[in-house]
Structures are given as C-alpha cells and as structure tokens.
Structure 1
C-alpha cells in the first residue's frame, strides 16, 4: 500500500484465552471491554505472523503462514478453500462462516509484504508501551490479526444474526494482485458489504482510493557514428526529451489525476547516436473517465516531433482500479462514525492517494457491495524499517469491525444506484 490520506468534505501461537459466551445485544461499552481483553491475544497472533518472512513470492514463508491461517479459520468454524494465486506463489485463502441472518460480509486483506528474506530475523517483532514494530506489522499483518480476532470476538458473543461472513487472505497484493484480483471481484459481487484491512495512519476509514496505471513512451530513431556521421542518425534520446516536456502535464489536479514520469532509458554507447529510448511513468486517478482522456491527450501530443523521421508511441497499461467515491462507502463511513462516537472516539472518512485491493471489489454503477477500506489497525512508516502500529488503536478497531457487522446485520443500508 502506497501514499498518504487526504481529508475529504462532507497466534500463530493462537493462544486465545477462552471467553465467556455473551448475549448478542452486548452494549458498546461491553464490546469495547471485550476487545480490550483480546489485545494480548492479538499481539501474540501478530508476533508470530511478523516473525515469518512473507515477501511476495517467498514460497517457504508464504506457505507457512497460509497453513497457519487455514487452521485458524477452521478453528473459528469456517469452511475453507485455497486456490493458487498464479503467477505468484501461495494461495488465495477463502473462509466462509454461515449465520442465521441475511447480511453478507466480505473481510479481506493480504498476507504478503514488501520485505526480503531474512528481514524478520534482522528486525524481529518488538513492542514498547505505545507501539509495536516489525516487517509488515501494519501492512498488513496487523489487518490479518484484526480479522481473526474480530471473528473470535463475534464467536465469543455468540452473534449469528449475519447471513455470511467470508474472509479472503491473498498473497500477492504488494505486486499488484495479479493472481487474486479476479477472486476479489467475484467474491465482492456476492456480498453486501466489503471491509478491507489496510492500515490507516490515524483514526479513519477510507471511502475512496486511487487507481494505478503505468504509462509508457517509446521512441525509435536511427543509429549512426556520433563522431564521423552524426547527421545520418536520428537521435531517439533528443526526441524522448522533447516528448517528455510535452507530456509532463497530462495530470489533472482538479480531478486528482497525476502522471509522473519516473524511469527513462536510452542509448548504448557514448559514440553512437541512440536509435531507441523508452520511458515509464506512474498514473494515479480516481475518475474512471481519466483513462480515456490521458490516453487520447497523450497520443495527440506525440504527433508533434522535434527530430524528423523518428517514431513515437504512447500507451497506458491498466493496473489497480480506483475505489470511486460512492454513496455506499459514504453511508458505511457514517455508520462507523456513529459507532465510534458511542465509545467517545472520533473517526474521519478520508480519500487516499494509494491504490488498494478495494478497487477490485468496487462495481461501477452498482449499489452493492458497499465498501470501506482501512479497517485495519492504525499504523505508519509502511514499507520501511520504521513501520509500526499504535497499540492504543487495537481494541477500538476490533470494536469497530464487530459493531459494524452487528449493526448492519440488524439495520441494512439502503443505497440507491
């Protein structure tokens, strides 16, 4: 997960201590107290997860955590299946728990990280009075633990008024979710509500995220000797520079669209006029129509050339789609704010610049599923040695998931298309 939030208007040592079964009408205060009692178990879960290297594609660690998560979901009463997440290693873990009601929930997050082999040994899990640290502690093993312990708390309360709770743990989010995006999209369409457990960096839930595309620019010229016959060449690097200047303003600040050129390569040797040059860039957007606009505008701009007889091409490779601002997410956020206020805390709805798997769950033009992102534990320093979670947020965020499931099971959202 990449980027920062923008304000918008408007275990497994799974050593859970046995909890007394409670009535389904448990008050907010009691639910928060029970969530506090889950904190030590949550941290044990988190420590074991963080202690296993699961960088995307690291087969040994991915498989080990996969086995642990399958066992844990089964112990919570879920029917579990695992399907390959090809081309990545590991599997998409899907657990399903049936209730007695109608509301259908999908809780999802990834269990891979960006960290290389050996990182867990070099920077093991540790905690002080305020924070816990370690590779992937927030992004997103803290979210994995949040899902597991929320289900544990619902089970302890003997709450079964939901229709279905489905859990999806995928192993390839950090490289684009190529092997899980179809599973996410298919599952989302079968549910009323989707909660995704990326970490917020403050007490917030996310109602919109950016999509991520890759932009590509290539120039074909003609090689020649740079000393004896430069005039016979067609310098692709010069033309590339010209085109990058022309294409530097493809973004649209009013719509939150950014296009940033980040990689440029051209030429082979100092004494050869370069015959080719390529550039890549990062496109972020929240308005679905921006893909067509940027593609059209880019292809229009490259028609004006500086170096004669060069060939220029521009394309966009679609990546993770956005979670577009929508009524369903905003109504879910209002429910979340109300539930948080009942325990004396404030919660902020935000839009975020990064892209997440929530984009694959979003169905343009449809009222369902309603989606909330960043339901995970509060944390920061993602993808860095300083990554941490805020220990004081564990119980409130557990309370949030449990209370949202209970509330929505009893009081369904009514969202117009």
Structure 2
C-alpha cells in the first residue's frame, strides 16, 4: 500500500469523522463514575469491544483488577516498525451515575457546534480518537510502531490501583502519549504535582456549659491550623493550598474531641513540595492539649518538560505543520494527570493529545466536534513518525 501524504491522512480523518463521533457518544452514554464498580466494569467491556471492532483483536490483552477501583486494561497491537508507543487514557469520570438523565446540550454561543455529556471532554473523546488514530495510521500504509493502549478506571480518584501498571507500561515503551483533553488546542507539557493531605486534630471533650475549661477544642485548633496552612501557599511559585472539606465534633453542647480537614495542595516543583511539607509540620496551635497529625499524601509528582519530552513535542509540531495546522502550542496547567507519573520516571511523554473543548468537571463540559478530525490525524501522524524508537532520532 502506498503511504498517504499528510493532507490525505487529514482528509481521511474528515471522511470518517461521523463514525468517530458516533463512537464517542456511545461511550458517553454509558456512565462510568469512579465510584460505580458495576458501571465501570460494563464501561470497560464496552471500550474493549469498541477497540476490537475498530482494530481487530490485540496481540496481547490483560485486565488488571482494580480492587475497590475500576480495572485497568492493556491492549497491545504489534506494529510494522521497531518503535513502541503507549497510548494512555482513563475511562472513569467525576460524574455520579444518573448524571446523564436530564443533561442538556449547550447552545452555540460562539457559532460552532458543541457536544456535551458526562466525561465527553474529560476524557472519552480522547480515548476514541486514540483508537481511530491507530486505525488511520495503519490504513495510510506507513510503518507504525507497536502500540499499547492503557485504559484505567481510577484516574479521577488518584490512579490508586493503576499507577504501577502505568509505570510498567511506560517503561517498556519508547514514548507515552496521554489522551487527556487539550488546553484549548495546546498539548500539556507541564502539570502541577498534587496531594490531598488529611489533617486530624484530637482534643479533649467536655461539657460546653458545665466545664468548658476542661475541654480542648479540636475544631478551634483545626481552624487555627487551616488558616496557618493557607498562608504557606505561594501563588507566585505556583503553589496553591485549599482546604476543601472539614468535619468534626459530636454535638453543639460538647467541646469537640476530634476534627479532620482534607487539604488540596498543588505545586510546580519538587522544591516547593519539600517546602510545603516542612512548613505544615512546623505549624503549632495555641492549645497544646490538642494533638495535630498530618497525613502527607502526595498523589502525583510535578511534571516538567524534559529534554526527551521536548524532542517528542518537536515531532508533534512537525506533524501539525505538515498537516497544515501551523505550529502546535503547548501549555503548563494546574491539573495533574497520569502523565505526571511517566514524567517523574524521566521518560518522554506528551499530555493533552485528546479533545478540544472546555469545562472539565462542570455540567457544561463539551467538545467541538469539528476538531475531531484534526486531533485524530495529529495522533495518527505522530504514530507514523514514531515507527522507529525516539532515541534513534537523537
């Protein structure tokens, strides 16, 4: 088969765009909340079937049990080139089961059609575009790398069970493309690291009316702590600290014996991560009878643009120029993804290879369906460039 030029690949993606959108909507109509294990299991079965329908049976398939989280599925398709690429994406969403009922489609306030639905932007569109990208790359006649798809069902809750699988797959691949949504069309080359710290204050209970002096309020101490913790933030350095949940006490007439807070922390560098750890540990509350315990639960390390990822970005930019799209922008964003794990291993990775749209985690999340062909052909073209290992291009 004669290899198709870039323009023909883009045109082919345009021709099959209705089928790609149909597959996207098929996935969106099956709800996959991170906390709905039966829904996740059925959703992964659907995604597996869709992949086989479009690409045939993989050369290797493995379903990794997630325990209390959604399972992780890896599917490997042997290529015709020497390269090996991982395409990574999550099928779980932040939306509780039932959110689809009554979901309204957005209007066209900017003159462009939009499609909306739970998880359509983050990130079921990216999953489908990745599947079709390999299909189009194969059909084009160019050599293609071996591709391992990794679909995980727990990214939105920290990739608690899938992280070891992600790291293992990434270490066996020459490069990883994460099919998360774009930043308004830009790929994501830097992401903040994040942690959810649980702070527990243990005080002394007492009757609030008869003997308040004998009590030591965990709630008062925790309030002091979270105010002090907020002051540790350094927005100029990219460090944000948000106490999003607080609970405690047993009654209005009882000096609170216990209280807890969950604190979301985002950092742009490992140095800031260490500074925040030390600063929070140094906080002291006024009533020394209250014991403060901090669970330093860093979930994802910061992601920065390394030299190897910069080479991958340069290849992606060559593809977009060849396809007539001009230069491909990149962006640093505050959210974290599974790309953070890959970057922390020092491996080449690009994130944000998926949908163009907006409003992730909001009821109005949407995609622009007219961008689906271009995004699919970008990944397809990049796969063609990666038929040989990235390291061989140095």
Q: 2:217 aligns with which of 205, 229, 235?
A: 235
Q: 2:2 aligns with which of 20, 23, 47?
A: 23
Contact 1:87 1:178 in 2 (8 A): no
CA distance in structure 1 between the aligned counterparts of 2:313 and 2:262, rounded to whole angstroms = 36
Q: 1:390 aligns with which of 345, 362, 368?
A: 368
Alpha-carbon deviations, 1:218-271, whole Å to 9, x = none?
A: 222222222222222222222223223322222233431222222223322222
CA distance in structure 2 between the aligned counterparts of 1:252 and 1:372, rounded to whole angstroms = 27
Contact 2:80 2:387 in 1 (8 A): no
Name the structure 2 match of 1:320. 300
CA distance in structure 1 between the aligned counterparts of 2:35 and 2:201, rounded to whole angstroms = 33
Contact 1:223 1:272 in 2 (8 A): yes
What SS is found at the alignment partner of 2:273? helix
CA distance in structure 2 between the aligned counterparts of 1:102 and 1:222, rounded to whole angstroms = 65
Change (3 A) 1:410 1:339: same
Q: Report how far residue 387 of structure 1 moved.
A: 1.4
Aligned residues: CA RMSD? 2.4
Q: Report how far residue 375 of structure 1 moved.
A: 0.2
Change (3 A) 1:346 1:240: same
CA distance in structure 1 between the aligned counterparts of 2:213 and 2:39, rounded to whole angstroms = 57
CA distance in structure 1 between the aligned counterparts of 2:196 and 2:282, rounded to whole angstroms = 18
Change (3 A) 1:80 1:127: farther
Name the structure 2 match of 1:100. 80
2:282 pairs with 1:300: yes
Contact 2:301 2:344 in 1 (8 A): no
Contact 2:74 2:149 in 1 (8 A): yes
Name the structure 1 match of 2:332. 351
Q: 2:102 aligns with which of 117, 122, 135?
A: 122
Q: Report how far residue 294 of structure 1 moved.
A: 1.6
CA distance in structure 2 between the aligned counterparts of 1:64 and 1:275, rounded to whole angstroms = 44
Q: Report how far residue 98 of structure 1 moved.
A: 1.3
Contact 2:175 2:390 in 1 (8 A): no
Name the structure 1 match of 2:23. 45
Q: Report how far residue 29 of structure 1 moved.
A: 1.1
Name the structure 2 match of 1:153. 136
Name the structure 1 match of 2:259. 277
Alpha-carbon deviations, 1:70-128, whole Å to 9, x = none?
A: 23433514224232342245432211111232221000101122222233343388998
Change (3 A) 1:232 1:161: closer
Q: Report how far residue 182 of structure 1 moved.
A: 0.9
Alpha-carbon deviations, 1:178-231, whole Å to 9, x = none?
A: 121111011001111100011124111011112221123222222222222222
Contact 1:221 1:233 in 2 (8 A): yes
Contact 1:73 1:80 in 2 (8 A): no
2:127 pairs with 1:144: yes
2:380 pairs with 1:402: yes
Structure 1: state its 5+ residue gaps.
1-21
2:318 pairs with 1:338: yes
Q: Please, which moves more after superposition, 101-110 or 123-132?
A: 123-132
What SS is found at the alignment partner of 2:297? strand
Q: Report how far residue 161 of structure 1 moved.
A: 4.1
Matches within 5 A, 1:247-262: 247-262=229-244
Contact 2:174 2:390 in 1 (8 A): no
Name the structure 1 match of 2:10. 32
Name the structure 2 match of 1:286. 268
What SS is found at the alignment partner of 2:173? coil
Alpha-carbon deviations, 1:371-406, whole Å to 9, x = none?
A: 000100202122222111112211111111011111
The structure with the greater share of residues assigned to helix is 2
What SS is found at the alignment partner of 2:100? helix
Q: Report how far residue 134 of structure 1 moved.
A: 1.6
Q: Please, which moves more after superposition, 80-89 or 334-343?
A: 80-89
Alpha-carbon deviations, 1:118-177, whole Å to 9, x = none?
A: 333433889986222222111111011101111110121133342x21111112212221
Name the structure 2 match of 1:10. none
CA distance in structure 1 between the aligned counterparts of 2:366 and 2:144, rounded to whole angstroms = 35
Contact 2:217 2:256 in 1 (8 A): yes
Name the structure 1 match of 2:36. 58
Change (3 A) 1:127 1:151: farther
Q: Please, which moves more after superposition, 272-281 or 346-355?
A: 272-281
TM-score of the aligned structures, taking structure 2 as reference length? 0.90
